[in-house]
Amino acid sequence: MPEVKIFAGTNSQLLAEKIAKAYGQELGKLTISKFSDGELSPSFDESVRGCNVFLIQSTNPSADNLIELCLMIDAAKRASAYKVCAVIPYFGYARQDRKDRPRVSIAAKLIANILTSAGADRIMTCDLHAGQIQGFFDIPLDHLNGSAIFVPYLRSLDLGNLIFASPDVGGVGRARSYAKYFHSEMVVCDKHRKRANEVASMQVIGDVEGMDVVLVDDLVDTAGTICKAAQIVLDKGATSVRAISTHGVLSGKAHENIENSVLSELVITDTIPSTQVSSKIKVLTVADLFAKAIHAVSGNSSISALFIS
Q: What average pLDDT does the segment 129-157 reach?
A: 96
Both 29 and 130 in one domain: the answer is yes
Both 112 and 26 in one domain: the answer is yes
Rounded to whole angstroms, the Cα distance separating 289 from 262 reads 31
Which of 133, 65, 128, 60 minimizes the C-alpha distance to 92?
A: 60
Mind listing the pLDDT tens digit for each residue in 77-128? Answer: 999 999 999 999 999 999 999 998 999 999 999 999 999 999 999 999 999 9
Q: For residue 34, indicate whether it is catalytic.
A: no
Which of 172, 154, 175, 174 minimizes the C-alpha distance to 164?
A: 175
CATH number where 16 lies:
3.40.50.2020
Both 121 and 165 in one domain: the answer is no
Checking if the pLDDT of 230 tops 70, the result is: yes
Which helix H or strand E contains 280, and what residues bound it?
A: none
Q: Output phi, psi for 221, to 5 deg.
A: -100, -90
pLDDT at position 198 is 56
pLDDT at position 90 is 98
Evaluate whether 126 touches 146 at the Cβ level (below 8 Å).
yes
Which of 219, 210, 223 minimizes the C-alpha distance to 252?
A: 223
Both 113 and 165 in one domain: the answer is no
Which of 263, 209, 206 minimizes the C-alpha distance to 238?
A: 209
Q: How much is the mean pLDDT over the chain?
A: 94
Evaluate whether 47 touches 78 at the Cβ level (below 8 Å).
no
Whether the link from the prior residue into 62 is cis, omega within 30° of 0, is yes
Evaluate whether 202 touches 224 at the Cβ level (below 8 Å).
no
The share of the chain scoring above pLDDT 90, in percent, equals 87
Rounded to whole angstroms, the Cα distance separating 97 from 231 reads 29
Mind listing the pLDDT tens digit for each residue in 177-216? Answer: 999 999 999 999 886 655 655 555 678 889 999 999 999 9
Mind listing the pLDDT tens digit for each residue in 17-49? Answer: 999 999 999 999 999 999 999 999 999 999 999
Both 176 and 190 in one domain: the answer is yes
Confidence band, pLDDT 50/70/90 cuts, at residue 276: confident
Both 119 and 184 in one domain: the answer is no
Which of 278, 283, 282, 222 minimizes the C-alpha distance to 254?
A: 222
pLDDT at position 60 is 95
Both 32 and 161 in one domain: the answer is no
Instruction: Give the count of domains, the chain.
Output: 2
Amino acid in position 37? D
Both 8 and 138 in one domain: the answer is yes
| Residue 103: alpha-carbon gap to chain centroid | 27
Both 43 and 91 in one domain: the answer is yes
pLDDT at position 203 is 84
Please give the residue range of the domain that contains residue 108: 4-145+288-306
Both 220 and 135 in one domain: the answer is no
Which of 126, 128, 28, 123 minimizes the C-alpha distance to 79?
A: 28
pLDDT at position 304 is 92
Q: Let me know how long the chain is.
A: 309
Checking if the pLDDT of 307 tops 60, the result is: yes
Q: Which of 191, 228, 236, 253 is catalytic?
A: 191
Both 19 and 121 in one domain: the answer is yes
Both 79 and 208 in one domain: the answer is no
- The contacts of residue 300 (CB under 8 Å, 6+ apart) are 1
